[in-house]
Amino acid sequence: MKKSINEKSKRVEELIKKINNSKTLMIVSIKNLPSRQFQDIKKSLRKEVLIKVDKKNIFLRVIKGLKKESALPLEKYAQENCAFAISNIEGFKLAGLFIKNRIPVFAKSGQIAQEDIEVKEGQTDLVPGPAISELGSFGIQISVENGKIFIKAPKVVVKKGEVITEGVASLLQKLNIQPFKVGIEPLVIYDVEKEKIYDNIEIDSEKTLNNLKMLILKAVSFSQRIGYYCKDNIGYFLNRAYREAKILETKLMKN
């Protein structure tokens, strides 16, 4: 018993030391993440982040052991199926790494579709047989080419928000369609240096990029209206000046 207590105390002290020597502590969820995928992600990111899995009471002792009032709200995030991610990388950049390293997985019966799930047009590895009637039951148009089933037109088999049935899950697996992604999910960031907590973490690089492009287009359009010259709109003003010069030249020639 005494040995067990000493081992736990040692784990707590080691974690406290590692956190105090780092920039970021993140509590992450590993719920529903298969062990194999977890180990693969952990291995791929081992140079950037230390991921520690332990019991809830160990994490709570670590949070208290930091002896920082600013860290105490982290206690509510330290639940079962969680882990500590300790790194010298800025918190939101670290969250982006976790999201980038999500792994595609097959759908399971009972899951809710996060987006429309579509069977795309093209060649499959399925041979003619029972698969023909199975595909037909979902309204998928097919033909047989080179001894394999060819899907003639794309077909949405599950719409966003619908429950995935056992039949759909089986079909998607046969077609090697993996519509879901699993990974280490960031729950909360603790900036060790600034002693600040950031929750409600949403990292969507594609959405952010699209929003940025839209803002740039609006800014360029506005600069054109007010006559403000810059490298991003100079081509527009040169073309307009050229067109106006040609119009003026035509008028002068007529006179």
- The domain tally of the chain equals 3
Same domain, 21 and 96: yes
Same domain, 165 and 130: yes
Report the SS3 class of residue 104. Answer: strand
Report the SS3 class of residue 129. Answer: coil
Q: Are 71 and 52 in contact (CB under 8 A)?
A: no
Residue type, 47: K
- 44 falls within a domain: yes
Same domain, 152 and 43: no
CA-to-CA dists, residue 252 to 110, 181, 241, 245, angstroms: 76, 67, 16, 10
Distance, in Å, from the CA atom of 53 to the CA atom of 184, rounded to the nearest integer, reads 12
- 112 falls within a domain: no
- CATH number, domain containing residue 122: 3.90.105.20
pLDDT number for residue 203: 61
Same domain, 15 and 96: yes
Same domain, 63 and 189: yes
pLDDT number for residue 240: 79
What is the domain range of residue 47? 2-102+183-203
**pLDDT by 10-residue block (mean), the chain, 255 residues:** 73 94 95 88 92 93 94 92 94 90 89 92 90 90 90 92 93 92 92 91 61 71 78 78 79 72
Same domain, 19 and 95: yes
pLDDT number for residue 248: 78
pLDDT number for residue 33: 87
pLDDT number for residue 253: 76
pTM over 0.85: no
pLDDT number for residue 157: 93
pLDDT number for residue 207: 59
- CATH number, domain containing residue 55: 3.30.70.1730
Q: Which residues make Cβ contacts (< 8 Å) with residue 50, sequence separation at least 6?
A: 18, 85, 86, 87
pLDDT number for residue 1: 52
Paired with 29 in beta bridges are 82, 185
